[in-house]
């Protein structure tokens, strides 16, 4: 077996949807198995079936002892292929809204009085798995189609370190799945120029405007030099993905410009994936 994905995360964050996407991508998917049984079942599948891609859904319904012992399960699974852990999360208010809309009980509702208590307890129980996550995805504002695009982005490359450069707007919230977050709201803002407002950071008028800014050039140099220095170290640590998120106020001009400029500078040495999170809001 070449690749094993463990898909887990907070209840209501989209695990079932993620497994459906992976099934469409050709993964053999199994959901809701107790953690302790995974090594035995995967070993049997590996021996009796010619599977190259396997996705395993895991949630908080496994026993607390099994969740705490995830490291041992992870090591046993590595005997059968390369293992990645995909951890899905959603901001608390988003989860509360989803459970309210669906009227479905939280898996821990029999043990805690309030939904908020269930959410906080689940975070703690899943922490041993989250710490092993190679891919973390914040699904707070993602539709099923957005989740599919994100999974395709993060799973569609080779074993080399993939650098994901993401622009975002602070007015829509900080992405929780970022490894690095850089704030570029202090740069000159094209939004206040009525001629530039309709463009994005990908368009030449905005590129020229920001390229003439000394502070924008200094910010680019600092971020670029930091990544240039540390990306080899992350790659040597067997990281599969590194997400660098750059934010401005609305996610249309300054952050997009910086992501595009970094992409061109880094692409000759590293596989790059680009996500402009707020593109749907661009004027």
- CATH code for the domain of 102: 3.40.50.300
Which range marks the domain in which residue 222 is found?
Answer: 162-281
Model confidence at 218, in pLDDT bands (50, 70, 90)? Answer: very high
Residues flagged as binding site: 9-16, 59-62
The whole-angstrom separation of Cα 254 and Cα 195 is: 15
| Residue that is last in its domain, among 122, 140, 155 | 155
Model confidence at 137, in pLDDT bands (50, 70, 90)? Answer: very high
Residues 175 and 147 placed together within one structural domain of the fold: no
Residues 209-233, mean pLDDT to the nearest whole number: 97
Contacts 24+ apart (CB under 8 A), 109-116: 116/92
Residues 125 and 185 placed together within one structural domain of the fold: no
State the pLDDT at residue 157: 46
State the pLDDT at residue 1: 62
Model confidence at 223, in pLDDT bands (50, 70, 90)? Answer: very high
3-state secondary structure at position 27: coil
Residue labelled with tokens 């092993």: 132
The whole-angstrom separation of Cα 26 and Cα 237 is: 28
Residues flagged as binding site for ATP: 9-16
Residues 121 and 176 placed together within one structural domain of the fold: no
Q: How many helices (H) and strands (E) does the chain have?
A: 10, 9
| Residue that is last in its domain, among 99, 132, 155 | 155
Model confidence at 228, in pLDDT bands (50, 70, 90)? Answer: very high
Residues 261 and 140 placed together within one structural domain of the fold: no
State the pLDDT at residue 232: 92
State the pLDDT at residue 156: 59
* Maximum average pLDDT range among 20-24, 122-126, 145-149: 122-126
Name which residue leads in pLDDT, 46 or 209.
209
Q: What is the pLDDT of residues 1-28, one digit of tens each?
A: 678 999 999 999 999 999 988 887 778 8
Which tokens sit at 143? 């539709």
Residues 271 and 170 placed together within one structural domain of the fold: yes
| Residue that is last in its domain, among 116, 136, 155 | 155
Q: What is the pLDDT of residues 37-95, one digit of tens each?
A: 999 989 888 877 767 789 999 999 888 888 999 999 999 999 888 899 999 999 999 99
pTM of the model: 0.59
Residues 61 and 82 placed together within one structural domain of the fold: yes
Residues 89 and 111 placed together within one structural domain of the fold: yes
State the pLDDT at residue 143: 86
Residues 147 and 8 placed together within one structural domain of the fold: yes
Name which residue leads in pLDDT, 24 or 132.
132
Residues 130 and 19 placed together within one structural domain of the fold: yes
Residues 143 and 79 placed together within one structural domain of the fold: yes
Residues 75 and 29 placed together within one structural domain of the fold: yes
Residues flagged as binding site for GTP: 59-62
Contacts 24+ apart (CB under 8 A), 102-109: 102/12, 106/11, 106/12, 107/11, 107/59, 107/60, 107/61, 108/11, 108/60
């Amino acid at each position: 077996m070449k690749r094993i994905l463990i898909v887990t995360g907070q209840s209501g964050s989209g695990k079932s949807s993620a497994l459906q996407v992976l099934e469409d991508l050709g993964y053999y998917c199994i959901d809701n198995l107790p953690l302790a049984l995974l090594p035995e079942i995967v070993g049997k599948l590996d021996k009796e079936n010619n599977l190259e891609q396997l996705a395993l859904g895991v949630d908080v319904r496994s026993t607390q002892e099994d969740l705490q012992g995830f490291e041992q399960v992870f090591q046993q699974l590595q005997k059968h292929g390369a293992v990645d852990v995909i951890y899905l999360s959603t901001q608390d208010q988003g989860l509360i809204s989803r459970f309210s809309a669906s009227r479905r009980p939280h898996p821990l509702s029999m043990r805690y009085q309030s939904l908020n208590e269930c959410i906080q307890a689940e975070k703690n129980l899943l922490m041993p798995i989250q710490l092993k996550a190679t891919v973390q995805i914040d699904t707070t504002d993602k539709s099923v189609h957005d989740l599919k695009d994100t999974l395709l982005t993060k799973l569609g490359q080779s074993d080399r370190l993939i650098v994901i450069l993401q622009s975002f707007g602070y007015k829509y919230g900080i992405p929780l799945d970022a490894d690095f977050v850089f704030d570029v709201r202090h740069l000159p803002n094209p939004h206040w120029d009525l001629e530039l407002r309709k463009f994005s950071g990908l368009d030449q008028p905005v590129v020229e405007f920001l390229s003439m800014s000394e502070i924008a050039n200094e910010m680019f140099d600092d971020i670029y030099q930091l990544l240039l220095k540390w990306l080899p170290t992350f790659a040597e640590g067997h990281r599969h993905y590194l997400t660098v998120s750059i934010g401005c106020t609305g996610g249309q001009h300054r952050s997009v410009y910086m992501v595009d400029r970094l992409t061109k500078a880094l692409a000759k040495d590293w596989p790059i994936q680009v996500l402009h999170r707020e593109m749907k809001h661009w004027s």
